[in-house]
Amino acid sequence: MKHTETDSTGVDWRSESTSAPDMSTGERLREVYEEQIRTPLLVAWADWRTRIGFLIIGFYLLMALVAVLGLWREPSTSQAPRYLMLFENMKYPLGTTASGVDLAALIIHSTPAILLMITAGAVWATGIAVAIGTLAGYKGGRVDRTLMSFSDLVMAIPGLPLVIILAVTLNPENPILLGVIINISYWAGLGRSLRSQVLTIRENDYVEASRTMGVSTPRIIAKDIIPNLMPYVTVNFVFAARYVMFASVGLYFLGVLPYSTQNWGVTLNFAYSGGALFSWSAAHWLLAPMVAIMGLSLGLILLGQGMDRVFNPRVRTRMAGESKSTASDDEDATVTEVL
């Protein structure tokens, strides 16, 4: 039932390959814009989680911009009185450390590198995971065995300990390289769970139909399989990004990673070893980087959660008001109640 309904409106991603031939390029471009960009954005924006997520991420991007453009002073020792509390002196809103470093400067100037790092790590991890997971799950047979043996091998290597050893060996200071190294084996687990999802998806009727019609494998994977995985992939993209941030900050906190630029983890490390945990006059020193970490990860998670709706075809048609059959469901409460 649902398939035919959505087919006629052209919102459904499955219909594209069958309804496309009669259209001109312009029409098709317009349709692609409508389907791939406008509707998803509308759906995304309609969800409060995405909206807040966007705003938070936007705020961090702004911070990165401030740092890159040099609109805030660089952190350096003795640039301010020591142990200023939060908002005690509005010139140094977040206070200062034991050696008189402006905490706001530390936080702001850490942002660009961290954003670069988590993006690089997440793109790397999810990209490879999707490629390998879908191909292995869909193709089966020898391809599956080879790819899964490979991911098993990679997965067999514990993440953080490997990163520690690689960090000692390679001394990576470039944030992009560091992001990739931290997630160097992250894709394997994700690829494997994607594969297990593909195993059930590939048994669906429409996949079999495509196969019988002789649609090529890459096309089936792109049109029939990956859209079904999208909610899972987006959520995991965010998890991968979060993992990079947590792991890197944690390892900086332990003092294991080499650092050339500022990082919240380094700040945390100095605060912790500076005894900030035990005296109230220095608590803000520990809190500022913690809040920075939690804020960014909150933004990422909200965005991931919201994107879940964008890519979940069932929710999407419902949101776009195309489908009447599911609109009466009690689950529909989300849409109205949450707005």
Partner 1 sequence: MVNYYVRRTARVFVTIFLVASLTFGLVRLLPGGPFTLLRAQLLRQGVPADEVDARIANLQNIQPDAPLWRQYIDYMLALFQGNLGESISLGEPVVSVLASAAPWTIFVVLVSTILVFAVGIFLGSLQAYWEGSRFDQVVSGVSISLMSLPFYVVAVIALYVFAYQFGWLPTAGTVANGVERELGIPFIVSALKHSVLPIFSYTIGAIGGQALAMRGNSIQVLGNDYVQVARLRGLADRRIATRYVARNAILPMYTGFLLLLGFRLGGTVILEQIFSYTGLGYYMISALNANDYPLMMGTFLVITVALVLGVYVADLTYSKIDPRISAGESDEAY
- Interface residues for partner 1 in 188-207 (CB under 8 A)? 189, 192-193, 196-197, 199-200, 202-203
Instruction: Provide the 3-class DSSP secondary structure of residue 238.
Output: helix
Contact with partner 1 (CB under 8 A) among 116, 215, 298, 320 = 298
Read out DSSP for 77-123? Answer: TTSS-TT--TTTSTTSTT-B-TT--BHHHHHHHHHHHHHHHHHHHHH
Q: Kindly state whether residue 153 participates in binding partner 1, applying the rule CB under 8 A.
A: yes
Contact with partner 1 (CB under 8 A) among 28, 30, 38, 145 = 145
* Cα–Cα distance list, 202 to 147, 196, 258 (Å): 17, 10, 45
Options 21-29, 87-95, 100-108, 330-338: segment touching partner 1 (CB under 8 A): 330-338
Under rule CB under 8 A, which residues in 115-144 are in contact with partner 1? Answer: 138-144
Q: Kindly state whether residue 214 participates in binding partner 1, applying the rule CB under 8 A.
A: no
Least distance in Å: CB of 171 to partner 1? 8
**CA dihedral over 72, 74, 75, 79, signed as positive or negative:** negative
3-state helix, strand, coil in the chain (%, to 5): 75, 0, 25
Q: Kindly state whether residue 55 participates in binding partner 1, applying the rule CB under 8 A.
A: no
Under rule CB under 8 A, which residues in 73-92 are in contact with partner 1? Answer: none
Residues contacting partner 1: total by CB under 8 A: 71
Q: Kindly state whether residue 235 participates in binding partner 1, applying the rule CB under 8 A.
A: yes
Options 22-30, 38-46, 79-87, 311-319: segment touching partner 1 (CB under 8 A): 311-319
Least distance in Å: CB of 23 to partner 1? 29
Least distance in Å: CB of 251 to partner 1? 7
Q: Kindly state whether residue 157 participates in binding partner 1, applying the rule CB under 8 A.
A: yes
Lookup: tokens for 139: 């193709």
Tell which residue, 83, 82, 64, 84, has the closest CA to residue 72.
64
**For residues 176 and 284, what is the distance between their CA atoms, to the nearest angstrom?**
29
CB 178 within 8 A of CB 122: no
Compare residues 127 and 250 and give the one whose CB is closer to partner 1: 250
Under rule CB under 8 A, which residues in 251-280 are in contact with partner 1? Answer: 251, 253-254, 256, 272, 277-278
Which of 292-319 are b and which e, b meaning 16 or more Cβ less than 10 Å from the residue's Cβ? bbeebbebbbbbbbbbbbbbbbebbbbb
Least distance in Å: CB of 65 to partner 1? 23
